[in-house]
Structure 1
C-alpha cells in the first residue's frame, strides 16, 4: 500500500459490492463495509495524489523553474531541494 498504491483486493471488493448492490441489494453490514472500503480507497488515493503533486517541478517555456513557493517549501521540508 506504499506510494499511494491501492491494493487490488480492495478494488475487487468495492466492485463486488457495487455489482451486488445493483443485482440483489446489500445487507446493512455490507452497506457499512462498502462505506468503509470507499473511505479507505479515497484516503489512499488522496495521499498518493498529494505525494505526486508535491514532487512536481514546473518549468516555463524558457526553462526557468516556476514551481509555486508553497510546493518548494514542502519539498525543502522533505529534503528534496537544496535551495
Structure 2
C-alpha cells in the first residue's frame, strides 16, 4: 500500500470516528468504517511481520544472534545466503 493511499485511509477512519462521536454513523458509514479498519489492521500486520522477518540481531560484540527461525525465513525470501 502506498503512503498516499494509507494516509487517505487513516484520514477517512478519523473522519468517521469524529462523526460517530459527534452525531453517530449511518449503517452504511459503520460498515465502511469497519471495512477500512480491518484493511488498515491487515496492512499494518503484514508490514510489521515483514520488518521483523528482515531483522538481523547482533550482540554487543557484533556477533549475529538472529534466531534460526528468522534465518530460515530470510533464506526462503532470498535475503540470506548462509
TM over 0.5: yes
> Structure 2 length normalisation: TM-score?
0.93
**Structure 2 partner of 1:60:** 59
Q: After the TM superposition, which residues 13-24 of structure 1 pair with which residues of structure 2 at under 5 Å, given as runs? A: 13-24=12-23
1:42 partnered with 2:30: no
Q: Could you say which residue in structure 1 is the equivalent of 2:26?
A: 27
- What TM-score does the superposition give when structure 1 sets the normalisation length? 0.92
What displacement does 1:62 show?
1.3
Partners in 2 of 1:8 and 1:64 — Cα distance?
39
Q: What's the C-alpha RMSD, in Å, of the aligned pairs?
A: 1.2
- How far does the alpha carbon of each residue in 1:31-73 deviate from its partner, in whole angstroms, 9 at most, with x for none? 1111100000000100110111011000111111000111100
Structure of greater relative contact order (alpha carbons < 8 Å, 6+ residues apart): 1
Structure 2 gap ranges (5+): none
Runs of 4+ in 1 over 3 A off after TM superposition: none
Aligned length: 81
